Chains A and B, each alone.
Chain A
Amino acid sequence: MLTSEKASGSVISEGRLSMESFETESARRGRQMADLYHRYGIDTEEIDDVQSLPIRFLVEVGKVGLAKYIFKEIIHYKGNAEVILSRPCTYGVFSGPVGGFSPRPHLCVGCLRCTIQHPEFVKVLPNPERLSLGDSYTTHGHIAAIDEEAKKGMVPVRGQGYRGRFGGPGFDGMLTDMSEIVRPSRDGIHGRELIGTSVDIGSKPMHLSFDEKGEIKGIQPKMFSIQVPFIFDLPPGNLGTEKLIRVIDLTSKGIDTLACVNSSDVERMAIDSANIIPVLSIDEAEKSSNYPNARLIQLDGWDSSAVDKARSVSDAMIGVRIKFEEGWQLRLDSAVNYGVEVIHLLADLHGRGEDGQFVTELFKEAHLRLIEQGRRDLVTLIGAGGIVGADHVPKSIISGLDAVALDLPVLFALQGRSDGSLVERAGVIGNLPNKMDEGWAEQRLTNLCGSWRDQLLEILGAMGIREVRRLRGEFGRSMIVEHLEDEAFEGIAGYVGGGN
């Protein structure tokens, strides 16, 4: 009997395995093993809007002008219906029952053919209501992109080149690299299905030791894997409704990631599970025992005695949330020194720390600090704040994180609207659709995750990197626009550097 047969548990029906039947049998077993293999993927499916964004464009048609024009055409073309009934729009804006007299601006994509072709009586205007969505950081562009990603679950693809500003602040000032000819792997975009996006959550010893039997001795790795390098953070502001928490819970299970939920909600809703991270205040650390299924519990600040209390009553890993406020570096050092396995770093929703530094710099500082101390792998760094675009995920990981936590994207993926400030977490006032169906919402969030994962694959594929874990802290695979400008424009009159 073949050794592999024992391992797979399959049985030869009768008699010995002859050379004759070997090929057939081995093919059958190969197929059987292959069928057992499940390649990770996120099942996306296009889903309808329930609360569409304000339309992109307003279309104004001067009805008198149009009537005169049609009259003229009837005379000029002697009733030739093909010519008279032709419309300048291929998207159906003027194809309603009464044509241009009742345009359908929701179909307008802004090609402007109508207003060029008929400048006398057609106007296409950007919709100010749409432009007013979000704020100076989380712009209407981010919100529209998230909305599309959550609707379709696909990578947004468009024609024409980039339309925005040159470089820019924050994440916009970072570019990712690609490999042109000499590549670290042979897998480009057609090898994307082989690119891994799973990340390890927890602690790995900086080296392994083995006893004489070959068993690991000393500090053991303590970690688990999730399939995508993003988790759901605590819903900011007033968003933490039961309904939303249920949706986040279901989605995180569906795609095999994690969701941070206030501990009181976890208990009240009885949703303790391996995919939920109960978040407790440090005063309630001893309640960690209430979550026997959690793999990771977070405390909302650093306090060694709170960690002790939590550890004493729970086998879960204990993580600590640290805000980028004065003294965060020391708190990070102390927590890691104390053996905390996961640190969840928090900037404001514009991606800034208390001192105004942007998260790419802050994440980098945290990462390098631990590297210099020789204990980076002892801890998982998760970060949140200002991550509102698919490109922000790889850029945060390049800056040194293991994974990011999503906050505002959840609101906009579910077609919610914000009211007021989008800077401080506690101050967020969001309105989710009134009659939000949970199945619909789960699919929207799943679609968003699918789209963002696929876009991560695009970035990794372009670099020739086969797993996202290898992207962590790879500053050399990014380019900072300011640095590039210094190199390119040095010596040009008037150039002083630093983007000035």
Chain B
Amino acid sequence: MTIVKPSDILIEKTTNLLQNGMNARAFGDFGVPEALGDARWTDELILSTWHMAETGKIPEKLNFKTGNSGGGFDRLKFQFLDESEWLEHSEKISTKLDLNRRGDEKNKISIDIPWYGGGMSYGSVSVNVMMSRARNARRWNSFISTGEGGYPTELREVEENVITQVATGYFGVEEDTIQAAPIIEFKYAQGAKPGLGGHLLAAKAGEEVAKLRGSVPFVSLFSPFPFHSTYSVEDHSKHLDWIETVNPKALLSVKVSTPHDVDMVAIGSFYAGAHIIHLDGGYGGTGAAPEIAKKNIAMPIELAIPKVHKFLVAEGVRDKVTLIASGGIRTADDMAKAIALGADGCVLGTTDLVGLGCTRCSNCEGGPSGRGCPWGLTTTDIELQEWVPQDWAVQRLDNLYGAMQWRMREILRKLGLDDVTQLRGRTDLLQYIPEEASE
């Protein structure tokens, strides 16, 4: 079957149907789809994310806070103050986050919300999706990461909000895109497939994707693991030095997964020169990963954050480095809990995609059709990607981020805090819920 770009009228029809359908489900005009959701992203969590993405508001009738995984964030809640002690809900409640705490001569970067967008490579998603996320990041004075697939030229328009990722396959890494980036992210590992390197299956490695990665079309691309130039903390330090030479102003972020010695990795990265230590937990998202890796290798982010936070505190360097958490963080409540456990901020990936219609059907790697996501999100298929009009997607993400910021402020004010940075490491504000009572 030849796949061609659809006509404008077909795009209009399909996008209207999809958008109206999502709204109809999110607003309760039709029942909850019976096959929607899983333990981590329940049907209500998906629908509430759609609701927020459409309205910019928290839904009244859907659980927008937790999933049903029986552990981690789903068993934690905040111990709010008595209502009489709550602060007013106000924009004065700060959600700003400084990313450079080393006090060096590099970029001084603050973001308006304590999260930014995680890496999704060109190839795993379309330029459309990358641009939508990047344009939204610009609205929120935040970032997205390129992921490991190169830097499509369209992104130049928003380069102040794009983190260039350098990962183990060096796919698409160019000197000029390192020089253009305010932050460079070294991806040592990814939570969904720790220790295994990236996967882009052949069906999705089309001509443009392959060209940007310096490869040939329709060949599966597996990034190696580990960095073949890094086998020690000293090598790691040289790695960061290399980037510093190419772009002396860029902040350096080190993305690692969560093995048992993640605390040692974090301190090693700090002394190697990292401004941001980005922990990616075992339940994180991916465009393609072996099922055995997703569930079994490395630890969930909820368990890694306090381990690293406490260790950095004990080493006396906690205030000199920004600790970012990702991998299984779904909601504003999850982010607030991650910060209370010891992170400074978070990275979102799957949440953005769910906001744009993702039902977590797990066919991102290509699926039986070989074309990737039928919603047009994790695909570069010339027909399917048209189902995600860029302006619509930017607005959806903007609305979603607005609702999440509102919820973050709601949590802070009920805790009597007027700045998100005051929440960091405040495990005394959390409560563990017995299993039978978990939401």
List A residues at the B interface (Cβ < 8 Å).
57, 77, 80, 82-83, 86, 88-92, 107, 109-113, 115-120, 123-126, 145, 155-168, 172, 175-183, 186, 188-190, 390-391, 395, 455, 458-459, 461-464, 476, 479, 481, 484-485, 487-489, 491-496, 500
Within B124-144, the residues touching A (CB, 8 Å) are none
Assess the B299–A157 pair: CB atoms within 8 A.
Answer: no
Find out whether the CB atom of B69 lies under 8 angstroms from the CB atom of A155: no
The reply to whether B430 and A125 form a contact with Cβ atoms under 8 Å apart is no
Cβ contact within 8 Å between B33 and A115: yes
1/0 per residue B344-377: CB within 8 Å of A? Answer: 0000001000000111111111011101011100
The residues in B between 1 and 51 inclusive whose CB is less than 8 angstroms from any CB of A are 6-7, 9-10, 13-14, 17-18, 21-22, 24-25, 29-30, 33-36, 38-41
Chain A residue numbers with a CB within 8 Å of B171 are none
Contact A487 B303 (CB under 8 A): yes
- B389 close to A (CB within 8 Å): no
- What 9 pairs between A and B have smallest CB-CB spacing? A159-B364, A462-B195, A166-B71, A178-B195, A188-B225, A163-B38, A495-B432, A494-B432, A116-B21
Q: How far is the CA of A495 from the CA of B428 in the complex (A)?
A: 12
Q: Which residues of B contact A111 (CB under 8 A)?
A: 359, 361, 363, 367, 373-375
Which among B35, B230, B365, B368 is the interface contact of A157 at CB below 8 angstroms?
B365
The interface of chain B, by Cβ under 8 A from chain A, is: 6-7, 9-10, 13-14, 17-18, 21-22, 24-25, 29-30, 33-36, 38-41, 69-72, 74-76, 79, 188-189, 191-192, 194-197, 199, 201, 222, 224-226, 228, 230-233, 235-236, 256-257, 259-262, 265, 268, 282-300, 302-307, 327-328, 341, 350, 357-365, 367-369, 371, 373-375, 378, 384, 427-428, 430-435
Which of A112, A178, A182, A390 contacts B297 (CB under 8 A)?
A: A178
Tell me the smallest distance from the CB of A268 to a CB of chain B, in Å.
Answer: 39
In angstroms, Cα B282 to Cα A162, docked, is: 8
CB-CB under 8 A for A116 and B22, given A91-B369, A160-B286, A495-B432: yes
Expressed in whole angstroms, the Cα–Cα distance for A117 and B69 within the complex equals: 28
Decide: A459 near B292, CB < 8 A? Known: A160-B362, A175-B297: yes
Expressed in whole angstroms, the Cα–Cα distance for A168 and B357 within the complex equals 29
Chain A hits for B225, CB < 8 A: 188-190, 461-462
Minimum CB distance partner of B9 in chain A: A83
CA–CA, A481 and B225, complex, Å: 25
Q: Please determine whether B39 and A91 come into contact, CB atoms closer than 8 angstroms.
A: no
List of B residues within 8 angstroms of A496 by Cβ: 432
Shortest CB-to-CB span from B28 to chain A, Å, is 11
- Residue contacts A-B, CB under 8 angstroms, 26 given: A83-B9, A88-B14, A112-B359, A117-B21, A125-B34, A157-B199, A157-B290, A159-B378, A161-B283, A161-B294, A162-B192, A175-B298, A176-B296, A180-B195, A181-B265, A182-B232, A183-B226, A183-B231, A190-B222, A458-B196, A462-B225, A462-B297, A484-B303, A488-B341, A493-B432, A494-B431
A124 to B378, CA, bound (A): 22
CB distance A189 to B196 under 8 Å?
Answer: yes
Bound form: Cα–Cα A484–B197 in Å: 25
CA–CA, A88 to B13, complex, Å? 11
- Closest-by-CB residue of A relative to B306 is A488
B296 in contact with A487 (CB, 8 Å): no
Contact in complex: B369, A90 (CB < 8 Å): yes
A476 to B222, CA, bound (A): 28
Task: Check A158 against B365 for contact (C-beta < 8 Å).
Answer: yes
Establish whether residues A90 and B17, one from each chain, have CB atoms under 8 Å apart when the complex forms.
no
Q: How near does chain A come to B181, taking the closest CB pair, in angstroms? A: 22
Least Cβ–Cβ distance between B115 and chain A, in angstroms: 17
- Complex: chain B residue closest to A495, CB-CB: B432
In the complex, the answer to whether A116 meets B260 with C-beta atoms within 8 Å is no
Give 7 A-B pairs besides A159-B364, A162-B282, A176-B298 with Cβ atoms closer than 8 angstroms.
A86-B13, A117-B21, A118-B17, A124-B34, A155-B290, A188-B196, A190-B197
With contacts A160-B286, A391-B296 known, is A181 near B435, CB below 8 A? no
Q: Are A157 and B291 in contact (CB under 8 A)?
A: yes
Contacts of B7 in A (CB 8 A): 82-83
Q: How far is the CB of B361 from chain A (nearest CB, A)?
A: 4
Minimal Cβ-Cβ distance residue in B for A115:
B33
Known contacts A125-B34, A500-B434; is-contact A186 B13 (Cβ 8 Å)? no
- One of B17, B72, B268, B288 near A117 (C-beta < 8 A): B17
With A164-B69, A180-B188 known to touch, is A189 a contact of B222 (CB < 8 Å)?
A: yes
Bound Cα distance from A438 to B36, whole angstroms: 40
